[in-house]
């Protein structure tokens, strides 16, 4: 990657399969640092490679490429990629979690994507449809073990991992894409349950974490993604997390309580978010890019560099027995739930 320009603090998206003329200017803005890709940006692995190369050229400097490629309901790239099961399926065959993490990461790294926002570390409490089978389990110990194995597989392929959604999104029924969920539990309850997978994976070297757009009113007056209590006191100090904090999408309805888009970005940054996501709203992305001061932050730069993909053995990976065996096993696991 070029060292002409460091990572900015904003992650945005692009409209289609190729770059629109006006997007070149957005990508080269000093505050741009990353791009998140969606299904609308994908047609084939070959097309995706070209798009990512064009994005990197437009940036004229460092930029991270990311996607949500968890599996199940949340898999942006499908045709040409292995179909991945929902995280909950691995409880049926725990030995597959590590191999699946490796396969997912290898396929993305091969087309130039630095990382996927995975694994989900939320504990499914049986009430959240937006989380549901995206969680590895309703059992805290099992969810933690499976998430650890999935991350281990990602790491073996050369991909950084991002745990989400801190401190836990699995106990609220409402969808933060549509409104602000409220979790009435106390801090000790979260420490004894929801913190467990975050705590273990942080100790194992987890590179990124995304806070939830969830309010925990019996603990703090600010929702987690805008809260210095959650990010600085709990995540940084109590849990000793020294990686990158990604805001969840600031365009989501759950973030609206913090004000306009510029206010949301500034508040999230002040709370401790290193990278601010602004998705599916080009005008909001432009507003945030221009509203934030252009500041060189060596510590943020150091954290973000840990998210850069480091591909291992991606040449001809589809010819390997490991890839073929894992694809077969994942297909069988999905068919068993059909």
Is 155 labeled as catalytic in the residue annotation?
no
Task: Count the residues in the chain.
Answer: 338
- Residue 132's alpha-carbon distances to 122, 136, 155, 171, 224, in angstroms, are 9, 9, 25, 10, 20
- Give burial (CB, 10 Å; 0-12/13-18/19+) of 328: exposed
Is 248 labeled as catalytic in the residue annotation?
yes
- Angle separating helix axes 140-157 and 195-203, nearest 10 degrees: 30
Tokens of 250: 């600031």
The dihedral through the CA atoms of 286, 77, 171, 185 has a sign that is: negative
Closest CA relative to residue 6, chosen from 283, 303, 261, 232: 303
| Cβ atoms of 93 and 35 closer than 8 Å | no
Look at residue 101 and give its three-state secondary structure: helix
Bridge partners (DSSP) of residue 67 are 37, 116
Where do runs of H (alpha helix) occur along the chain?
Answer: 21-27, 45-59, 96-109, 140-157, 187-192, 195-203, 228, 261-271, 282-291, 298-305, 321-336
Closest CA relative to residue 32, chosen from 1, 56, 16, 67: 56
CA–CA separation, 189 and 318 (whole Å): 44
Task: Give the distance from CA 148 to its chain's centroid.
Answer: 16
Residue of 62, 68, 248, 274 with catalytic role: 248
Tokens of 327: 């694809």
Tokens of 122: 């939320």
Residue of 177, 220, 297, 313 with catalytic role: 177
List active site positions. Answer: 177, 248
């Amino acid at each position: 990657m070029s060292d002409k320009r460091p990572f900015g603090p904003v992650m945005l998206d692009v409209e289609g399969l190729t770059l629109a003329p006006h997007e070149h200017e957005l990508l080269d803005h000093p505050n741009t640092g990353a791009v998140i890709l969606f299904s609308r940006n994908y047609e084939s692995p070959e097309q995706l490679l070209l798009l990512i190369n064009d994005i990197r050229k437009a940036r004229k400097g460092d930029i991270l490429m990311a996607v949500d490629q968890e599996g199940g309901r949340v898999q942006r790239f499908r045709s040409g990629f292995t179909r991945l099961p929902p995280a909950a399926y691995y409880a049926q065959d725990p030995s597959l979690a590590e191999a699946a993490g490796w396969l997912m990461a290898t396929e993305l790294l091969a087309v130039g994507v630095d990382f996927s926002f995975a694994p989900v570390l939320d504990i499914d409490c049986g009430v959240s449809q937006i989380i549901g089978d995206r969680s590895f389990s309703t059992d805290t110990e099992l969810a933690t073990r499976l998430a650890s194995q999935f991350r281990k597989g990602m790491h073996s392929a050369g991909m950084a991992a991002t745990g989400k959604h801190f401190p836990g999104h699995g106990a609220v029924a409402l969808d933060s894409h549509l409104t602000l969920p409220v979790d009435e539990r106390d801090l000790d309850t979260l420490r004894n349950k929801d913190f467990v997978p975050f705590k273990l994976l942080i100790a194992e070297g987890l590179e990124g974490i995304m806070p939830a757009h969830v309010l925990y009113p019996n603990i703090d007056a600010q929702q987690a993604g805008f809260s210095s209590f959650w990010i600085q006191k709990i995540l940084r100090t109590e849990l000793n997390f020294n990686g990158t904090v990604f805001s969840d999408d600031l365009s989501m309805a759950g973030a609206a309580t913090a004000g306009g888009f510029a206010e949301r970005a500034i508040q999230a940054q002040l709370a401790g978010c290193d990278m601010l996501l602004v998705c599916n709203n080009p005008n909001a992305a432009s507003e945030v890019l221009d509203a934030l001061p252009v500041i060189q932050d060596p510590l943020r730069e150091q954290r973000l560099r840990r998210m850069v993909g480091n591909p291992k053995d991606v040449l001809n990976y589809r010819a390997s027995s490991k890839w073929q065996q894992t694809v077969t096993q994942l297909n069988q696991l999905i068919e068993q739930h059909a």
